[in-house]
């Protein structure tokens, strides 16, 4: 679907899967690595106490929900869970609609002028506006671009460190490391101001839930640091996953006209030009299928590393204490036993009842087990409303010489998704 250089980690992963099968063991200078390419072993790695998270993300997210494993992680997760529930989605429906409307206005100007749009930039802006307004009551418009740039620098550095587990060399670059530290410093500055302004009496605010869950777990300075970690976690995970999923979905729709036409027909029948709302989800069945198939091919969480806390054995490979196991949704989502003609885009794979014969864990775009992304439901519902709200008005067309690519970091970022927009025509 796009050109990959030979040193691209995605090419390496597919070659390992197709050559060596479901479980691949290899040794690097940092130690032994076992790569899981099949749903069969996901539960053991992602649900067992034998395996803990690695420390890579802690450089940016500290002990936040996407990086921690301790008892406080459990307490905080329970404390903020209701913020991500269906009731909250109803409350944030208008937030999503406003963010979508701003992109509608931008794309309308592009459709009128013929200007190109940068799909990933626009979806990042939309998702960042939603998560910041939902969390803090305002969209942080002034900081959005600098914050997104800082996240990119930090996550790109950590992504390169992570892909060392695939055997890719990483030479220490003091300039890149300094840039990463500078980016994290800016993130800390922005987040620190938000943490200092928390109102614990606001029962529905995310930061208030975090603050209440942390009471009694450390000194004021330790609690403030943990609050910082949770805000960074949600700001990054809350817009990176959604923007990535939406961007790849637009790429697939722009290059598969029959699916795009079918999507537009559903949106016309269900919405007839009005903004989508939370109650429409049940009728937007093909919209959900398109999104799921996009996340199958390009999972936002494409690479999950765990560290063994004791000796174990998986698929005939002995894993020493301290050994690394990598669960790879990218290859699991393309496993031939679960997905026929796995590289083909086919939203009907997710038609009602189609998952009855698929192995459990064959579709894990947000991970699995106790550390399943807490905001997965929020992200999917946000993406459905955004896809519906934009898709009923616009037809994206790849620009001449369209050559998209991937920049797999901690999330599965796309590259070069530049398109022109035209209006949907109705008889």
Q: How far apart are CA 297 and CA 14, in angstroms?
A: 12
What is residue 6's predicted lDDT score, i.e. its pLDDT? 44
Residues 39, 41, 45: CA angle, nearest 5 degrees: 120
* 353-373: pLDDT as tens digits: 888 889 999 999 999 998 888
Class of domain 9-422: mainly alpha
Domain ranges of the chain: 9-422
By the 10 Å C-beta count (0-12 exposed, 13-18 middle, 19+ buried), 325 is classed as buried
Token pair of 53, please?
Answer: 């998270």
Q: Alpha-carbon torsion 254, 255, 261, 266, what sign? A: negative
Q: Quick one: how far is CA 185 from the chain centroid? A: 23
Low-confidence ranges of the chain (pLDDT < 50): 1-6
Q: What is the CA radius of gyration of the chain?
A: 21
Three-class SS of residue 313?
Answer: strand
Q: How far apart are CA 102 and CA 341, in angstroms?
A: 38
* 140-193: pLDDT as tens digits: 777 777 888 888 888 777 777 666 666 555 556 788 889 989 998 998 888 888
* 306-359: pLDDT as tens digits: 999 999 999 888 999 998 899 999 999 999 999 999 999 999 999 998 888 899
Contact 348, 207 (CB under 8 A): no
Helical axes 257-271 vs 376-391, angle rounded to 10°: 90
Kindly give the pairing relationship between strand 51-53 and strand 304-308. Answer: antiparallel
pTM of the complete model: 0.91
Residues 110, 125, 161: CA angle, nearest 5 degrees: 125
What is residue 166's predicted lDDT score, i.e. its pLDDT? 64
What single string gives the DSSP state of each residue in 267-287? HHHHHTTSPP-GGGGGG-HHH
Alpha helix stretches (DSSP H) within 309-422: 329-332, 376-391
Q: How high is the mean pLDDT of the chain?
A: 87
CB environment 350-376: b (16+ within 10 A), e (fewer): beeeeeeeeeebbbbbbbbbebebbbb
Token pair of 86, please?
Answer: 């269906």
Q: How far apart are CA 324 and CA 34, in angstroms?
A: 6
Kindly give the pairing relationship between strand 405-408 and strand 418-423. Answer: unpaired
Token pair of 417, please?
Answer: 């998704």
Q: Quick one: how far is CA 16 from the chain centroid? A: 24
Cα–Cα distances (Å) from 280 to 93, 275, 348, in that order, read 11, 10, 20
């Amino acid at each position: 679907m796009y050109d990959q250089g030979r040193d691209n980690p995605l090419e390496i992963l597919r070659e390992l899967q197709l050559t060596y099968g479901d479980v691949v063991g290899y040794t690097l200078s940092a130690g032994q690595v076992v790569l899981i390419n099949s749903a069969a072993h996901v539960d053991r790695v992602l649900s067992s106490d034998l395996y803990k998270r690695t420390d890579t993300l802690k450089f940016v997210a500290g002990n936040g929900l996407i990086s921690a494993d301790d008892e406080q992680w459990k307490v905080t997760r329970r404390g903020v869970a209701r913020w991500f529930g269906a009731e909250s989605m109803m409350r944030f429906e208008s937030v999503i609609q406003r963010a979508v409307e701003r992109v509608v206005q931008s794309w309308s100007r592009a459709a009128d002028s013929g200007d190109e749009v940068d799909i990933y930039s626009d979806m990042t802006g939309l998702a960042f506006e939603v998560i910041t307004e939902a969390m803090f009551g305002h969209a942080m418009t002034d900081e959005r671009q600098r914050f997104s740039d800082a996240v990119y620098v930090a996550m790109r550095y950590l992504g390169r460190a992570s892909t060392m587990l695939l055997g890719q060399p990483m030479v220490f670059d003091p300039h890149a490391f300094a840039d990463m530290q500078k980016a994290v410093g800016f993130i800390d500055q922005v987040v620190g101001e938000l943490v200092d302004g928390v109102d614990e009496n606001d029962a529905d605010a995310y930061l208030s839930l975090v603050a209440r869950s942390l009471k009694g777990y450390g000194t004021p300075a330790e609690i403030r640091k943990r609050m910082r970690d949770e805000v960074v976690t949600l700001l990054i995970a809350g817009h990176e996953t959604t923007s990535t999923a939406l961007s790849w979905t637009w790429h697939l729709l722009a290059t598969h006209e029959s699916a795009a036409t079918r999507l537009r027909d559903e949106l016309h029948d269900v919405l007839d030009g009005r903004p989508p709302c939370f109650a429409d989800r049940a009728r937007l069945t093909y919209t959900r299928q398109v999104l799921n198939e996009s996340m199958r091919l390009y999972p936002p969480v494409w690479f999950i590393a765990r560290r063994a806390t004791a000796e174990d054995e998986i698929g005939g490979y002995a894993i020493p204490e301290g050994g690394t196991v990598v669960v790879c949704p990218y290859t699991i989502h393309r496993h031939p036993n679960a997905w026929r003609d796995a590289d083909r885009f086919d939203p009907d794979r997710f038609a009602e009842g189609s998952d009855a014969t698929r192995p459990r864990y064959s579709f894990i775009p947000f991970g699995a087990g106790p550390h399943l992304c807490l905001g997965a439901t929020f992200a999917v519902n946000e993406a459905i409303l955004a896809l519906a709200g934009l898709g009923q008005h616009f037809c994206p067309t790849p620009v001449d010489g369209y050559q998209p690519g991937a920049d797999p970091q901690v999330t599965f970022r796309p590259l070069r998704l530049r398109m022109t927009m035209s209006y949907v025509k109705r008889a």
